[in-house]
Amino acid sequence: MLSHPLTALKRLFFGAPIATSRAHHERLPILFGLPVFASDAISSVAYATEEILLVLAASTTVALGSVVWISIAIAGLVGIVVFSYVRTIHAYPQGGGGYRVSSDNIGSRLGRVAGAALLIDYVLTVAVSVSSGVLAIASAYPATKPYIVEIGLMCIGIMAWVNLRGTRESGLVFAIPTYLFITLILGLIIVGLLGAGRGVGPLTSAEAIRPDQTLAQASALWIILRAFAAGCTALTGIEAIADGAGAFRPPEAVNASRTLILLGVVLTSLFVGVSWLASHYGVAPISLSSPNYKTVLAQLNEGLFGNGVLFYTLQITTMAILILAANTAFADFPRLCSFIARDSYMPRQLANLGDRLVYQNGILLLAFCAGMLIFVFHGDTHRLIPLYAVGVFTSFTLSQTGMVARQIRMKQPLWGIVASAIGAVTTGGVMLVILITKFHDGAWIVVITATLLLLFFAWVRRHYDYLAEELNVAPDERVPISDTTVLLLVPRIHRGVLNAISYARTLSHDCRAVHITINPESVPKMVEEWEKHAPDIPLVILESSYRSLVEPLMEYIDEAVGERPNHFLTVIVPQAVPKHWWQGILHNNAAIPIKMALASRKNVVITNLRYFLD
C-alpha cells in the first residue's frame, strides 16, 4: 500500500519510525555520549579564553598574563562541579539533573527556578555556540562576515534536522568533528610548548583592543572578578551529562559518570593550555568591527600552525564543533522540557516522543528560540555572552543544595554531604559574582526572562489543575441520557450525498437537510430532486445574500442549539476525496471553512462523511 506523499517525504528527510521496543538500542555508549552531551563544554575552549582577555585588555590595572591564573581557578571550579555532578548521576541515573534534584529535595518552587534557569541557558548555548562557530569561519573567510546571521540561522536549521532524525544518528554525525577538534587543539598546545622552548617570539597583533578609559582606573579585584565571570562560560554544558544520564547505555550511572570525568579532564587541559599559549605569545583580542578581525584562537592557530592546511583545518573544525556544541542543548533541552511537562508546568505536547524516539516538539521550540536570539543580536557572540552562565550556575547551586538535603535525609556518609555543600557554596558564590559583574551588560535580561518563565509555569499548572477538576468524575455520576438532532449539509444531489442520506437516517429520528443557496433561481430544481430521493427528510433552504456559506449556516445552527441547549446537534459535512491528492486543488473545498467554524460551537458534533472518487 502506497503511503501519503507527505508521509513519504517525512520518512525521506527524517527516517522511518522507530518502534518503542527499539528504544534500548538507541542508547549511547561513552564514545558517542561525549560528543552528544559534552560538545558544548569542550567547544568553550574556542571562546572562553578570549572572553577573559576581552575584560583584561580593557583595563590597565591587571596584566593580560593574569589569564593563566584565572583559567587555573576556573579549572579548579570545573573539578568541583564534575565531582558534585558525579554524585548527582548516581542518585538520579535516569536523568533530570538540577530540575529533578531540586524539585524532589528542596521543593517544587526551587525546582522550577532551576528548570527555568536551565531552559534559558540551553537556548543561549545554541545561540552562542552557533554564533561563535560562524565567527570562526569569518576569521578564515572574511567575505562571509556580512552574512553571519543568515549562516547562523541555516546552521540551527541543520542542527534541528539532524536531531529530529534521532539521538544515535546525531552521535555518529558529531563524533568526528569533536574528536578532531580535541586532537588539533592538543597539537596546537604541543607546538606552542615546543615553540616556547625554542624561543619563538610574541604573536601580538596591531589590531588588538586598546584599554577602555572608563575601566582603566577600575580596581584590580573588580577586573579580575569580571574576567573570572566571563571565563566561567567554560562551565556551561557540564550539567548536560547529568541531565541526560538516562540516554546512556546500562549501567546508565556508570557510563554517564565516566563520560563526565573524561569531559572534566579534557576541558581543563585544553582550556588552561590555550590560556597559557595566549599569555606566553602575547595574543590579545581584536574588535569584531575591525576589517582584520580574528578570534584569539585563530591568531594562535595562524601564528603556530602557519597559514596552510592545518590553519584552515582547525578553523573549519572549530566552526564545526562550535555549531555542533549546540547539540548539547538539542539533546538536553527537549528532555528537560519533557520532565517539566510531565509535572504539568509546560504544555504536555513537549512530553511526547516522536517517530524517531526524540522529543521533536522540544527540538523545534529550541530551534525557534535560538534563531530569534541570533536574529535580534545580529549573531554577535560578545553581546550574547553577558546573558550566558547565570542560568547554569543557578542550576548548579540549587542542584547541589538539593543533594545536601537528600543525603542528610537519607543519612548518607558525612564526606558526601560536605562535598555537595562545598559545591553548593562555591557555585553559589560564582553565581553572585557573575550576576553582579554582568548585570549591567545584560544579565538583567536573564533575570526578567526567568521570572516570566516561572509565571508561565504557574499559568500552565493552573490550567491543568482546572482541567482536571472539570473533567473529574464524581462517585455518584452516571452516563447522561441524550438525544441528537442531525443536520445534513447538501450542496447538491450526487452519489456522495445519497450515501450521506443513508447514514443520516441511522443516527436520529430528528433528521434535517440544509441547503445554502446563493442563486434563488436554482431552488425549485433542488427541491424537486430532494423530493425524489429523500421525501421523508425535511429540506431547509437558507439564502445567502452575501454569497457566504458559513454565516447563514452558523445562524441557523445557533438557533437550533438555542431551542434545546443541552441537546446534541450532529452536523454531517459531505466531502468528496479525489483519487490523487493534487486533484484536490481543483475542488472548492467548502467543507474546510465550515468545519473550522463549527469547531467552536458548544454541543455541536461534526461528522465529516467523505466520498472517495475512484
Three-state helix/strand/coil letters over 152-176? HHHHHHHHHHHHHCCHHHHHHHHHH
Mean pLDDT, rounded, for 433-455: 83
Q: Above 80 in pLDDT, residue 369?
A: yes
23 confidence band (pLDDT: 50, 70, 90): very low
> 431 and 538: one domain?
no
For residue 14, what pLDDT band results from cuts at 50, 70 and 90? low
Please say if the pLDDT value at position 440 is more than 70. Answer: yes
For the ranges 359-368, 392-401, 591-600, which has the lowest average pLDDT?
A: 591-600
Q: Which residue has the higher pLDDT, 275 or 391?
A: 275
Statement to judge: residues 201 and 326 lie in one domain: yes
* Residue 11 pLDDT grade (very low, low, confident, very high; cuts 50, 70, 90): low
Element (H, E) at 85: helix 67-91
Tell me the residue range of the domain where 578 lies: 484-612
Reported as a single tens digit per residue, the pLDDT across 87-105 is 888 888 877 677 888 888 9
pLDDT of residue 1: 41
- Residue 583 clears pLDDT 60, i.e. is over it: yes
Residue 271 — pLDDT band, cuts 50, 70, 90?
very high
Q: Percent of the chain, pLDDT > 70?
A: 84
Contact 593, 549 (CB under 8 A): yes
Report the range of poorest mean pLDDT among 2-11, 340-349, 354-363: 2-11
Q: Checking DSSP bridges between strand 484-489 and strand 568-577, what pairing results, if any?
A: parallel
pLDDT exceeds 90 at position 474: no
Is the distance from CB of 477 to CB of 501 less than 8 angstroms? no
Q: Which residues pair with 513 in a beta bridge?
A: 488, 539
444 and 510 together in one domain: no
Confidence bin at 161 (pLDDT 50/70/90): confident
Instruction: Kindly state whether residue 5 falls inside one of the protein's structural domains.
Output: no
CB-count burial class (<10 Å; 0-12, 13-18, 19+) for 498:
middle
> Considering the chain, what percentage of its residues have pLDDT values greater than 90?
12
For cell 581584536, name the residue: 286
* pLDDT for the residue 596: 81
424 and 569 in a single domain? The answer is no
Would you state the torsion angle of the CA atoms of residues 216, 221, 226, 227, taken in this order, to the nearest 10 degrees?
Answer: 90
SS (H, E, C) 536-588: CCCEEEEECCCCCCHHHHHHHHHHHHHHCCCCEEEEEEEEEECCCHHHHHHCC
Say if residue 421 is in the same domain as residue 545: no
Among 410, 438, 465, which residue terminates a domain?
465
Work out the pLDDT band at 203, boundaries 50, 70, 90.
Answer: low
Same domain, 365 and 514: no
- 4 lies in some domain: no
Structurally, the chain folds into a number of domains equal to 2
For residue 161, how many other CB atoms are within 10 A of its CB?
13
- Mean pLDDT within 480-505: 82
Among 118-122, 255-259, 430-434, 450-454, the minimum mean pLDDT is found in 430-434
For position 381, what pLDDT does the model report? 67
Q: Which residue has the higher pLDDT, 226 or 381?
A: 226
Of 130 and 165, the one with more pLDDT: 130
pLDDT band at 236 (very low <50, low <70, confident <90, very high): confident
From CA 261, how far away is CA 263, in angstroms rounded?
5
> Per-residue confidence at 429, pLDDT binned at 50, 70, 90?
confident
Are 148 and 274 members of one domain?
A: yes
Cis amide leading into 251 (omega within 30) = yes
556: CATH:
3.40.50.620
Q: In this predicted structure, what is the pLDDT of residue 87? A: 84
Confidence of residue 262 (pLDDT cuts 50, 70, 90): very high
314 and 435 in one domain? yes
Interval 234-261 mean pLDDT: 84
Q: Are 550 and 589 in contact (CB under 8 A)?
A: no
Confidence of residue 201 (pLDDT cuts 50, 70, 90): very low
**Residue 185 sits in a domain of what CATH number?**
1.20.1740.10
Residue scoring higher pLDDT (426 or 68): 68
> 349 and 392 share a domain?
yes
Which range has highest mean pLDDT (10-14, 30-34, 56-60)?
Answer: 30-34
Backbone angles phi, psi at 513, to 5 degrees: -105, 140
Query: Do 203 and 79 share a structural domain?
Result: yes
Query: Is residue 471 in a domain?
Result: no
The confidence score (pLDDT) of residue 4 equals 55
In a domain, 563, yes or no: yes
419 and 392 inside one domain: yes
pLDDT at 197: 54
- Report the chain's mean pLDDT, rounded to a whole number: 80
Q: Where among 465, 498, 518 does a domain terminate?
A: 465
What is the pLDDT confidence band of residue 19, given thresholds at 50, 70 and 90? very low
* 1 domain residue, yes or no: no
Which stretch, 44-48, 68-72, 512-516, has highest mean pLDDT? 68-72
Segment 436-454 shows an average pLDDT of 82
Query: Residues 55, 93: one domain?
Result: yes
- Among 389-393, 493-497, 500-504, 525-529, name the one with the lowest average pLDDT: 389-393
Q: How large is the greatest C-alpha to C-alpha distance in the chain, in angstroms?
A: 105
Residue 23 near residue 220, CB atoms below 8 Å? no
212 pLDDT above the threshold of 60:
no
pLDDT bucket at 457, cuts 50 / 70 / 90 = very high
Q: Rounded mean pLDDT of 129-147? A: 79
Burial environment of residue 529 by CB neighbours within 10 A (0 to 12, 13 to 18, 19 or more): middle
Among residues 438, 465, 492, the one where a domain terminates is: 465
* Position 7 in a domain: no
Residue 13 in any domain: the answer is no
- Of 109-113, 285-289, 497-501, which one has max mean pLDDT? 109-113
- For residue 11, being part of any structural domain is answered with no
